[in-house]
Amino acid sequence: MNLILFGPPGAGKGTQAKYLIKKLDAFQISTGDMLRNEIQKDTEIGKKIINDMNDGKFVDDEIVNKLIKNALSDPKKKNKLVFDGYPRSLSQAKNLDLLLKDTNQKLDLIFFLNVNKDTIIKRIEKRKIIEKRSDDDLKTILKRYDTYMETTKPVLEFYSNNPNFHEIDGSLKIDEITSKIDAFLRV
């Protein structure tokens, strides 16, 4: 089973993804984690990524798509993927469709965790204290939220016609969101 979890920064994608990978014995494909890993390694790609992230921009599609292609090409991960935060743009969504077809895979479920800006601010402030993530600066997060909502609108339209697309109120408590997701799982 392949799933997508998407929503603005702080929507709870990572939390739900961790639950799903355990429940489904799947692999989490978090572009955020992949990108942070490149930053930690201090690679040339990592340096470009950190500049974009600090400016509140999304990382170049070419970089992200290459990381996704590598994950989809791994035979042990075939049909066992939970995409966390990808795709973020229409071009990424179309690229994912092509990569899935090329690897003889499909999307089984697509969840959009819809959360308003006020809830995001509260969550990010809490997460910054607990996780001490360098990308949790409030000004940066608000810019990322606005950018996310703007660039994701076409992605929502792209997937909303898919019968496996489900919008979930991301402002609910973690266990309530999990219950809503569980209702759609066929395992």
pLDDT tens string, the chain, 187 residues long: the values are 999 998 887 788 889 999 999 999 999 998 878 888 888 898 888 888 888 777 767 778 888 888 898 889 999 999 999 998 789 888 899 999 999 999 999 999 999 999 988 888 787 777 776 766 665 577 777 787 888 888 888 998 999 999 999 999 999 999 999 999 999 997 5
Buried b (16+ CB within 10 A) or exposed e, 59-94: beeebbbebbeebbeeeebeebbbbbbbbbbbbbbe
Question: Is the pTM for the entire model greater than 0.85?
Answer: no
User: Would you state the pLDDT for residue 134?
Assistant: 61
User: Would you state the pLDDT for residue 48?
Assistant: 83
What is the chain's alpha carbon radius of gyration, rounded to the nearest angstrom?
16
Task: Name all domains of the chain by residue range, CATH numbers in brackets.
Answer: 3-180 (3.40.50.300)
Q: Which residues make Cβ contacts (< 8 Å) with residue 123, sequence separation at least 6?
A: 10, 12, 115
User: Would you state the pLDDT for residue 9?
Assistant: 77
Distance of alpha carbon 19 from alpha carbon 29, whole angstroms:
13
Q: Listing from the earlier edge strand, what are the strands of the sheet with 27-30? A: 27-30, 81-84, 3-6, 109-114, 165-169
